[in-house]
Chain A
Amino acid sequence: DGGITQSPKYLFRKEGQNVTLSCEQNLNHDAMYWYRQDPGQGLRLIYYSQIVNDFQKGDIAEGYSVSREKKESFPLTVTSAQKNPTAFYLCASSQRLAGRTDTQYFGPGTRLTVL
């Protein structure tokens, strides 16, 4: 099956802890994205990457970090510097970053709750 997987589905974090959310795709897509979704708001872009070992900050990158060591993988770390991390996190991929007509495909999401 082709697609995007995210793990875990639910994640609980204590204040002051860093946590890492996994995102893997087998679509052979170049571009990958991380979004944050809060109730009543549209998706907000955290980070994106168009190639291995390269990534760019999105609109709300503060308190987050990413890596892109493999084409298939784009993990997101939520650090203790993120003041309000409780949210639903979505990973997506598309064929190209610069392809303005390319469709983004989404994983099932990870719901992070800070205790």
Chain B
Amino acid sequence: AQSVAQPEDQVNVAEGNPLTVKCTYSVSGNPYLFWYVQYPNRGLQFLLKYITGDNLVKGSYGFEAEFNKSQTSFHLKKPSALVSDSALYFCAVVKNMDSNYQLIWGAGTKLIIKP
């Protein structure tokens, strides 16, 4: 079955430290992967996506993600966390089904950055 997993419900990081939010996936065919961020009571904002090519994808707000085909992972990273990065982060993968493509969503990881 095609799926995506975010193994950590919550990640706590001190401000200024590097952060990683984990995502693993299982799909048939080539994976197309997305990261979104959600602030409280707001819609989701697109951060970055992996389509093909370079395994390190750079996105908005200083975030980047590393695609690892052998480990079927797409972890979100940032070298130096800000308190304002505190939010809910979602990983998604395109589900291949016939002629249209839907997203499969992870359950989300709450990121807390402490001053």
Contact = CB atoms under 8 A, between A and B. Distances in A.
Contacts of A107: 43
A6 B106 CA distance: 24
Contacts of B100: 50, 97-98
Interface residues on A, range: 20 to 34
B44 interface: yes
Nearest to A108: B43
Given A42-B105, A43-B105, A90 B44 contact: yes
Q: DSSP class of B's interface residues: helix, strand, loop or mixed?
A: strand
B45 interface: yes
A101 interface: yes
Interface of B: 4, 9, 32, 34, 36, 41-46, 49, 51, 90, 92, 94, 96, 99-108
22 contacts: A41-B107, A42-B104, A42-B106, A43-B90, A43-B103, A90-B43, A90-B44, A92-B44, A98-B99, A99-B101, A100-B32, A100-B101, A101-B94, A103-B46, A103-B49, A104-B34, A106-B43, A106-B44, A106-B45, A108-B43, A109-B41, A109-B42
